[in-house]
Amino acid sequence: MHAPVFDPKPALVGHRGMGRGTVHGYAENTLASYLAAVEHGLSWVEVDVLRTADDELVVRHDPTTPDDRFIVDQTADTVAAKGILRFGEVLEALPAEVGINVDVKTVLEDAVAAPDRRTGALLAGVLAREVRRRPLFVSSFDPALLLYLQAHVPAVPLGLIAWICFPLRHAVPAAAQLAMQAVCLHVDSFGPNRVEPRPVHRPLSYTLDVAHDAGLEVLAWCPDGDAAVRFADAGVDAMCVNDVPRVVDAISARAGT
């Protein structure tokens, strides 16, 4: 039985550090961005992780380096020379009290790789060591990877990510039936959107209640300041946010601090 993943709630998770892209001069998925998010009071940061040709884990959202070469076709040293961090560098640099939401990006080549070379297998040993010293939460769009980690590192809480505008009537039951600890839902999925503009969406509070009754914590990803306040008032457990200073200010104003 897992303890709560996020406590106190709502936890703010810095999306790739201070936020997607470059926020207040801090480029995403860099040490400077992660440390700046911590300096702004965040107790969690989100780190994108994928594998290289020589089976190391590096920190990058896109599957390619800035020169449009696929990371899985390059060595860790090669991509490091292009400014891409090793995952181990982030683990060493962040204080142990800072929680890390590891957002695992499986690669196409995992479909044909030997089992011990797939992204999940490379990550499992790192997680087993790291969970002894800091809060961890692993999220992914890949349910097979999550089930692998569930079997091999059961101490690490897991969350299924659903894509932008993905129907919550599918995402929440899927996460519950996979025995995840959390479900990670984009803010645009909670109401009429470009995919489903019709009124086929349950109210925010209803969706959160169903997820909580199913034993799931809910992480909403990419709310802006106003949406973050609305989700906090509704009882969301965590929010993975862009523009950390703006959201921190909005939540602080809500709390009257």
Residue 255 has pLDDT above 80, yes or no: no
Q: Which domains does the chain have, with CATH numbers?
A: 11-49+97-255 (3.20.20.190)
Q: Is residue 115 within 8 Å of residue 55, measured between CB atoms? A: no
Distance CA 249, CA 255 (A): 10
Q: How far, in Å, CA of 69 to CA of 65, rounded?
A: 6
Q: What is the pLDDT of residues 77-121, one digit of tens each?
A: 999 999 999 999 999 999 999 999 999 999 999 999 999 999 999
Q: What is the mean pLDDT of residues 235-241?
A: 98
Q: Which residues are CB-neighbours of 232 under 8 A, at least 6 positions away?
A: 10, 239, 251, 254
Q: Is the pLDDT of residue 257 over 60?
A: no
Quote the pLDDT of residue 136. Answer: 98
pLDDT in tens, 1-41: 578 999 999 999 999 999 999 999 999 999 999 999 999 99
Average pLDDT over residues 39-62: 98
By the 8 A CB rule, do 182 and 217 touch? yes
* Alpha helices (H) along the chain: 31-39, 76-80, 87-93, 119-130, 143-152, 168-177, 204-213, 225-234, 244-255
Of 49, 29, 178, residue with least CA distance to 102: 49
- The pTM score is 0.96
Q: Report pLDDT for 3.
A: 86
Phi-psi category of residue 29: left, alpha or beta, with phi > 0 → left and psi -120 to 50 → alpha: left
**Could you please report the per-residue DSSP string of 177-229?**
HTT-SEEEEEGGGGS--SS--SS----HHHHHHHHHHTT-EEEEES--HHHHH
